[in-house]
Structure 1
C-alpha cells in the first residue's frame, strides 16, 4: 500500500546514518518525541522510562494506566506552569495557572463552551469554509489551480471562526468586500492587529517589552505595534461588554468576552458598589470582581490562541493526508453523500447532521489525523521538588522522583500497539481512518451513548468525562487517545474544535476532491496526454516529497506544524480527478 509511513525506508536509513555514537544526544533535541515516535519504548521494553541529565530528570510516558493516574491526581502531578509563562502576554489565564488559582479560572471560563453555543460554531464554520473555497474558485471552475500554502489558509479560517463565534467580530477574506477603514485611535485594523500578532507571537513572547518599545529593528517595531493595537481592541471590547453587563443587557450568543465579564462577577450592583468604593482602599481587582481586568484579557487572548491553532492544524493535515490516500477520500465523500444528500449547505442542520458526521467517516478522518499528529506531541506534567510520588506501572509500584518533569508522549501513545487496531507494526504509522470504522455486523456496546447530549450542569471544576469519539466508531481505551489532553486539564474548547473541523471537512469534500500538485514533476499539458503509468510516476514523486516533509519538516513552537516547506495541492470538482492514487 502506498501511504505515509514515518520512520520507514530512506528516512529511517538517513536517521541511522546520521545518529551520533552517543544515543543520549538524540534525546536532547526539542522534538525528540516526534523524531522517535514509539521506537524508544519498544527498545526499552517499557512504556515508561526516565531521562537523567544534569538539568534534571524527565519521565516519558506512553502507558494509558500511568497517564490516567497522572492526569487524575492533579495535586500530586501538577502542570509545570513556568513552561507557559510566554502566553501570559496580557494576563494570567486558565492555561497558565494551577491549583486553586486554576480552579478559580476554570469555573469562570468554562460555561460558554456548551452544546447550545456549539451550534453557533457550526454555522460560522460552514460560512467561513464556503468563503475560503469561493476565494479559490470562480462559480464555473472545476479546479483551483495549485495552492502552495493551505496551512496558512486553514489558520485564517480558524481565526475567523473563533473571532466571529466567540467574540462577535466577523472577519472577511481578501476577495470579499470589506471596510478597510482603521478606527480612530488605532494604526491597524482589528484583523491585521490580531493576525500580525499571531504571526509574530514568538518575537513578542521572547523579547522584553522595553526592547520592543524602543528597538529600531523592523521586526521589533512590527511586533510591538500589533501587540499594542490588539491590546487596545480587546480593552475596548472589554469596556463595551462591561457597560452592557452593568446596564443589565443580555450580550447573547457565545460571546466569550461577555461571558468572562459576567463570570468575573461584574453586575449592575457590583458596578455601583465599585463606583461608590473608596479609591484609596481599592487595590488589584475591584472588591466584588472575581478576575482582574488583566486576567479577563489574558483569558480572551488564550481562547483565540488555543482556539485556532488546533483546529487549523487538523484541517490542514486532514486535507493533505486525504490527498495522499484517494481510497479514504472517496470513502469520506460517499459517507457525506449518504448523510447530507442533495441538501444545500444552508439547510444543513446541527442537531441532526452533526452527530451523524461525528460518527461517520468524517469523524474517523478527524480522529485518525489527531491520532497521528496531535497538536501537542508531549503534554507536560511534573512532581513538586522534594515530593516524590508513588504510582502503579504494569501492576507494580514505582516511585516518581520529586522535582521530576513528566512528558505524556502523545505521538508514542497513539502508536502503541497495545491500544490500536492494526494489521502490522507499519500499519500503526500510516493514515488509515478506516481503522475507526466498526464492523457493522457486530454489536457495539457503546451504542446507547449520546455523545452530544445536553451539557448544562456539567461539573466544570471536575474532569471532562465525555468521550472524544462517537459510539458508532472505534472507541479507544480510556487515556490511550489524548489529543485534547485528559482529566481535569483537558481542553476546554474540545467540542468547539471538533464541530469546526467536521463542518469544514464536510463543506469541502461534499463538492470537491483534493489532489497533490505534480507540476514540479509534470506540467498540466503533459498530464492531459499522459498514460496512467506516467501520471502515477509523477504522483509518486509528489507523494514522496509530502511524506518526507511530514516526517522531517515538522517542528513545534506552540503546536506542531510543517515548518521547513509546504506541500502544494489543488482542489478539483468531484468527477474531474486526475490522480486517484494512494
Structure 2
C-alpha cells in the first residue's frame, strides 16, 4: 500500500505543473494567432518581463542567451531590454515588430512619427493599468490614470509646477551641491548617510574626504541631494546636506529618504510582499523590512498632507524639522485641491437650489481624495528625485572620461560666473539659468543615451486603433489590450535620426549658435526623435524642475572642480585608461528598476579635483 502511495506522489505533483504548461501554451498560441493579423514580423518568447517570478530568477539563467538558435528569446524577456540593444533589432525586423509571449502581444515601435502619436493622442492611446501598479502603491495619480480621471488630476497638479517654484529649485540645488562637494572632498568619517539600498549608513568611509568616490558613493550623494531639493521645493522644508532627512523619527524603522530609497530599489519585493498579510511566524527578515518600509513611507506621505493642509488652512506654520518656505509644490497642490473642493460644494449648493432641494448634482468630485494626494506626492518623489539624480549619475562618468567636454562646459561657466559676477551660490535664477546652455546640453545628451525610461507602452482605446508606422506609411490595426511600446533608446540612437555617431556621447550636438549675435541655444531635434520627457499633453510636468536642478548642480561642480577617472584600490585597474574603461563598463552594465540604473556602480569611480 505504501509503495502505491509513493508511486502516486510524483504523478499528483505532475498534474498542476502540466496544467500550468498547458495553460501557458494555449495562451501563447492564442496570442500568436492574434499577432499574425498585425502583418508585421513576430518574435515568440516563452517567458517575459510580465512574469514576475521570471524576473526574480532570470539572472540565474544567463546561459540561455548563449544557446545557439534556441537562446534568441532571452534578451527580449528582460524588463528594459531596449537599453542594451537599442535600434539594432529594428534593423533586422523593421520599425514595428511583435513580441509574443503567453502573457501578451507587444508591438515594439522605432518610428518617431508613430511614437509622437502614441504620446500625444492620450485619449485613444492610453496607459496600460497593470504597468503602472507600482505608481499606485499609495493611490492613483497623474502618472497612472487615463481619460477624465487624468484631466481631473492634471487640473489640480499642473498649477503646482509654476515658474516661481523654479527659483527655489535653483537656490536649493546650488546650496545642496556646494555642501555635497565640500563634504565629498573634506568629508569626516562619521557623517550619516542613506545608502543606495535604502539602509542607514555612513556618508564618509575610507574613500571619503579626498574627493575619491565610486559611482555607488555618488549614487548615494546625488540621490540625497535631489531628495533635499525636493524636500525644499516640493514640501517647503530646508535641510543641510549632512542632516535632516537622514534622521529616523520615533515610531519609524527608516528615515524618509531611507524608506523611499528602499521602495524604489526593491520594486518587485514591494509589489509582491507589500500588500501581503501573513502571521509573523511565517515571515522572514526581508519580508518584514519591505512591509515596514512601505508602511513608513505611507505615514510620511500622510503626515505631509495633514501638516500642509493644516498650514494652508491656517495661513502659515513651520516646523517639521526644518525651516518652512512658501510656494512649494505640496502647498500649491493642496491649495488647488482645497479650491476644487470649495468649487464642488458651491456647485452642489447651486444644483440643490435649482432642483428645489431635491439633490446635490451627484457625479464624480473634481478634487482629489486623500489617497490620490498620497499617490501624487509619491509620484512626485519618484519623478522628482530618482530621475534627476540618475541623470547626474550617468553624466558624471561621461564627463570624467571626456576632459575636453569639461573644459568646453567650463568656458561657459567661467563666462557666466566671471570675476565681476557672483559665484553660483549667490547667483540669480532668472538671469543665470538661461545662459548655461552647454550645461543643459550635457543633460540632454545624457538623457538621450541613458534616460530614465527605455520605452513606454500604450493600449488602444475602444476595440482598437489604426497606427501608421515607418517611412513606407504602413498602417496596422492594433486591437484592444495589445501593447504598443515606443522604443525610446532605439529612436534616441538610430543613425537615421542622429547620424553615424548616434551611440556616442557628444553634448555639442545640441548647441546651435546665432550667426549674428553668437548667442548659443539648445537645438530643437526633429519631431519625435527625442522623448526623454515624453511628448504632448502628457509631457512630464516636472521637466523644467529637473532641468533647473541639473544645471545648478553641474555649474557648481565645474565652477570649482574637475572630474578624473579613479583607479579604485583593490581592483584590477592599474592605469587611467583602465579607470576610464571601468567607468564606461559600469555605465553600459545597467538595469531597469523603476528607472534606469547602473547595476554595479561600486566597480568604478571618479576623483573630484579642485581647479
Alignment TM class, shorter chain as reference: 0.7 to 0.9
Q: Which has the bigger relative contact order, CA under 8 A and spacing at least 6? A: 1
Q: Does the C-alpha gap of structure 1 residues 346 and 442 become closer, same or farther in structure 2, counting only changes over 3 Å?
A: closer
- Corresponding residue for residue 545 of structure 1: 582
CA drift of 1:192 comes to 4.2
Which of 80, 83, 100 is equivalent to 1:31? 80
DSSP 3-state at the match of 2:338 = coil
In structure 2, the residue corresponding to 1:58 is in which secondary structure? strand
Q: Corresponding residue for 2:287?
A: 220
Distance 1:170 1:252 in 2: 8
CA gap of 1:397–1:271, structure 2 versus 1, over 3 A, is closer
Q: Who is 1:352 aligned against?
A: 431
Deviations 1:274-302 (A, max 9, x none): xx9xxxxxxxx999771111111111111
Q: CA deviation at 1:93?
A: 0.8
Q: 1:455 maps to what in 2?
A: none
Structure-2 residue corresponding to 1:451: none
Between stretches 287-296 and 502-511, larger displacement belongs to 287-296
Q: 2:177 aligns with which of 115, 129, 144?
A: 129
Once the two structures are superposed, the pairs formed by residues 441-520 of structure 1 within 5 Å of their partners are 441=515, 472-520=521-569
Distance 2:107 2:149 in 1: 26
Aligned to 1:554: 590
Which runs of structure 2 are paired with 1:408-419 in the superposition (5 Å)?
408-419=486-497
Alignment of 1:254-293 (within 5 A): 254-265=327-338, 290-293=367-370
Asked if structure 2 preserves the Cα contact closer than 8 Å seen for 1:117 and 1:253, the reply is no
Give the conservation status (yes or no) of the 8 Å contact 1:212–1:220. Answer: no
1:85 counterpart (127, 133, 136): 133
Unpaired stretches in structure 2, ≥5 consecutive residues:
1-61, 189-207, 318-323, 350-361
SS in 1 for 2:464: coil
- Following the alignment from structure 2 to structure 1, what is the Cα–Cα distance between the partners of residues 65 and 266? 36
CA distance in 2 between counterparts of 1:229 and 1:139 reads 29
- 17 and 540 in structure 1: CA distance in 2 versus 1, 3 angstrom threshold: farther
In the aligned structure 2, how far is the partner of 1:53 from the partner of 1:205? 22
131 and 476 in structure 1: CA distance in 2 versus 1, 3 angstrom threshold: same
> Where does structure 1 lack aligned partners over 5 or more consecutive residues?
1-13, 277-284, 448-470, 524-534, 576-582
Cα pair distance change 1:266/1:248, threshold 3 Å: farther
List aligned pairs for 1:150-549, cutoff 5 A: 150-174=218-242, 182=249, 186=252, 188-211=254-277, 214=280, 216-247=283-314, 253-265=326-338, 290-342=367-419, 343-357=422-436, 359=437, 361-384=438-461, 386-391=463-468, 393-394=470-471, 396-402=473-479, 403-420=481-498, 422=499, 425=500, 427-438=501-512, 441=515, 472-520=521-569, 538-549=575-586
Deviation at 1:47, TM superposition (A): 2.6
Cα separation, 2, equivalents of 1:266 and 1:472: 39
Q: What's the C-alpha RMSD, in Å, of the aligned pairs?
A: 3.6
* Partner Cα distance (2:497, 2:245) in 1: 50
Residue 440 (structure 1) shift: 5.4
1:301-321 deviation digits (Å, cap 9, x = unpaired): 111111111101110111111
Contact 2:219 2:390 in 1 (8 A): yes
Q: Deviation of residue 127 (structure 1)?
A: 0.9
Please report the TM-score for the alignment, with normalisation by the length of structure 1: 0.78
Following TM superposition, by how much is the alpha carbon of 1:111 offset from its aligned partner in structure 2, in angstroms? 0.7
TM-score, with normalisation over the residues of structure 2? 0.75
1:51 equivalent in structure 2: 99
- 1:163 touches 1:304 (CA, 8 Å); kept in 2? no
Larger helix proportion, structure 1 or 2? 2
**What SS is found at the alignment partner of 1:381?**
strand
The alpha-carbon distance between structure 1 residues 572 and 230, as it changes in their structure 2 partners (threshold 3 A), is: closer
**Higher Cα Rg: structure 1 or 2?**
2
CA 1:386 to 1:288, structure 2 compared with 1: closer, same or farther past 3 Å? Answer: closer
Structure having the larger proportion of residues in strand: 2
* Cα distance in 1 between the residues matched to 2:549 and 2:116: 28
